[in-house]
Amino acid sequence: NAGVMQNPRHLVRRRGQEARLRCSPMKGHSHVYWYRQLPEEGLKFMVYLQKENIIDESGMPKERFSAEFPKEGPSILRIQQVVRGDSAAYFCASSPSGRDDTQYFGPGTRLTVL
Amino acid sequence: QKEVEQDPGPLSVPEGAIVSLNCTYSNSAFQYFMWYRQYSRKGPELLMYTYSSGNKEDGRFTAQVDKSSKYISLFIRDSQPSDSATYLCAMSEGNTGRRALTFGSGTRLQVQP
pLDDT tens-place string over residues B76-90: 999 999 999 999 999
Distance from CA of A106 to the nearest CA of B (A): 6
pLDDT tens, A5-59?
999 999 999 999 999 999 999 998 989 999 999 877 889 999 999 988 999 999 9
Q: In the 8-state DSSP scheme, what is residue B105? A: -
Residues of A in contact with B105 (CB under 8 A): 41-42
**pLDDT at B1 > cutoff 80:** no
- Whether A98 shows a pLDDT value over 70: the answer reads no
Q: Say if residue B59 is exposed, middle or buried (CB neighbours under 10 Å; 0-12, 13-18, 19+).
A: exposed
Report yes or no: B106 and B10 within 8 Å, Cβ to Cβ: no
β-pairing verdict for A88-96 and A29-37: antiparallel
The pLDDT score that the predictor gives to residue A1 is: 54
- The CA distance from A25 to A69, in Å, is 10
pLDDT digits (tens, 9 = 90+) for B33-65: 999 999 998 999 999 999 888 899 999 999 999
Secondary-structure breakdown of chain A: helix, strand, coil percentages, each rounded to the nearest 5: 5, 50, 45
Q: Which of A31, A105, A111 to mutate to test the interface with B (most CBs of B within 10 A)?
A: A105
First vs last Cα of chain A: how many Å apart?
A: 37
Q: Which pLDDT does position B51 carry in this prediction?
A: 86
A44–B43 C-beta distance less than 8 A = no
C-beta of residue A36 within 8 angstroms of C-beta of residue A43: yes
> pLDDT per residue over A53-82, tens digit each?
999 999 999 999 999 999 999 999 999 999
Give the distance from residue A15's alpha carbon to the nearest chain B alpha carbon, in angstroms: 24
- pLDDT-derived band of residue B101, with 50, 70 and 90 as boundaries? very high
Contact (CB<8Å) A102/B46: yes
By Cβ distance, the residue of A4, A59, A91 closest to B100 is A59
How far, in Å, CA of B72 to CA of A55, rounded?
Answer: 28
